[in-house]
Structure 1
Amino acid sequence: MATFQKGILGGFSGKVGNVVGARWRGKNVMRSLPQRGSYTATAKQEEQRLKFKTVIGFLSPLVDILNRYFGSPQGDKSRANLATSYHLKNAVVNLPTGTVMDYAKVLISKGDLRGIDGGTVAAAAAQTLNFGWQDNSGQGKATATDELMVVVYAPELNLFYTNVAVATRDATTASVTLPNFMASLEVEVWASFSKPETNFAAISTYMGAVTVL
């Protein structure tokens, strides 16, 4: 790809000969036309494509949370971009049965805020999950008013439940009621803390798999 300054004819868009002109990030660019041929992806390339497809499919419903709470933007990379890179490297595996997420390594948030200590989750009647944790306010930048966020995923349905303001850190217990359609399903659960009205969050904690009652 090459860039060029406007001449007497200005920039151009579309195909001219064997090059294509376009505007990209405020610059005039030219690209050569792709070569046609019978290209076959290698096994490694196909494996990477499957991983990318799996990660994007899994993270897409969480993009709003990721764009708020996953680290800090780096140059042109958004928080969601950083989350995608992390999960491609660390949280997706190829098995004989297919490409799947490694739920224990999934992160819904990433930051320097103090996370969950002594976290527990248990299922109760009527699609309720009961959470418990230690009040670690005062450790690092943790304060009593930090908010607990919860993400629940039902793999069988490929559907999420999310709540970014369940309770404050000093509450030490909280309950969430899941949608009726999650009844009797095994779900994967993550939790974290964030500071209200900011993008400051903790590294999320994988709480484990729970069967909804």
Structure 2
Amino acid sequence: MGTIVNGINGGISGKTGSVIGSSWKSINYLKGLYKKSNKPATEEQLITQARFKLVMRFLLPITSYLQVGFGQKKADRLTPLNAAFQFNLPLVIQGTYPSFTLDYSKMRIADGAFYLGPPRAPVYADEELTVSWDMTNNDIYKTADDDGVYIICYHPDQDEFLAPASVPTRSAGTVTFGVPTHLLGGEVHMWIFMADRKKKRVSKSSYLGLIQLS
């Protein structure tokens, strides 16, 4: 793939001969046309495809969270989804092909240097999850009461995500949200991270563990 510098005719858009011109974030690109191969994939290619598919399948449904959590990572070159994919791919795959699984404890939903504070263990009771966090502001990191607190859960058996209906603030100190009936009796992995009001400064996410919903 080549990058085009605007000339007197500007960038190329669409198919031109054997190449396709496109633009992303004001950067013009030239890409060769895809050529379908009749050769069977090698084992190495199958392994790579399986790894890519497993990680991307997890990340795609939580794109809105990644837009905050990875929105500042190589923003001039990568989408938040691709930044999260590149970050997590070397870390979260475990097992051997074709039985790869994800190590959820290593999965990062956000990455940054903003202050999160020490994580606290979630509590499940009466079909509700409660998550609490440190409300204390940090002068060095310039945290504020209206910093957003992002919480997300993943139910592996049902392959579903669960989160509070709205984003609480640092000053709230806690949030409680219900668990749908069809998820009860299982277990969820949970993560938390924080971001300032403008979503420009973001903490790294903290894995809160595996919580039994029973």
- Alignment of 1:123 onto 2:124: yes
Cα root mean square deviation, aligned? 3.2
1:87 is the counterpart of 2:97: no
| Higher CA-based Rg | 1
**Secondary structure of the corresponding residue to residue 98 of structure 1:** coil
- 1:141 equivalent to 2:142? Answer yes
| Structure 2 residue 79 is the aligned partner of structure 1 residue 78 | yes
Equivalent pairs, count: 205
Shift of 1:165: 4.4
- Does structure 2 retain, via aligned residues, the 8 Å contact 1:149–1:164? no
Q: Counterparts of 2:192 and 2:103 in 1: how far apart (Å)?
A: 16
Task: Give the letter for the 1:131 counterpart.
Answer: V
The answer as to whether partners of 2:47 and 2:98 remain within 8 angstroms in 1 is no
Please say if residues 147 and 165 of structure 1, whose CA atoms lie closer than 8 Å, have aligned partners that are also in contact.
no
Structure 2 alignment gaps of length 5 or more: none
CA 1:164/1:150 → structure 2, altered by over 3 Å: closer, same or farther? farther
In 1, distance between residues paired with 2:15 and 2:190? Answer: 49
- Structure 1 residues 59-70: aligned runs within 5 Å: 59-70=59-70
Distance 2:13 2:65 in 1: 39
Q: Which is worse superposed, 176-185 or 53-62?
A: 176-185
Could you list the runs of 5+ residues in structure 1 that have no partner in the other structure? none
2:73 and 2:144 mapped to 1: Cα distance?
24
Aligned match of 1:110:
111
3-state SS of paired residue (2:55): helix
State the percentage of identical aligned residues.
20
The answer to whether the Cα contact below 8 Å between 1:71 and 1:110 also exists between their aligned partners in 2 is: no
Q: Which amino acid aligns with 2:130?
A: N
Amino acid at match of 1:188: H
Task: Say whether 1:193 aligns with 2:191.
Answer: no
**How far apart, in 1, do the equivalents of 2:111 and 2:177 lie?**
22
Q: Deviations over 1:44-92 (max 9, x none)?
A: 3322211100011100101111022215142321121110001111122
Contact 1:192 1:204 in 2 (8 A): yes
Residue identity opposite 1:154 in structure 2? H
Counterpart in the other structure of 1:22: 20
- 8 Å CA contact 1:94–1:100 kept in 2: the answer is yes
CA contact (8 A) 2:144 2:170 kept: yes
TM superposition shift of 1:109? 1.5
Matched, 1:49 2:41: no
TM-score where L is the length of structure 1: 0.80
| 2: CA distance, partners of 1:57 / 1:29 | 28
Mean CA deviation greater in 73-82 or 203-212: 73-82
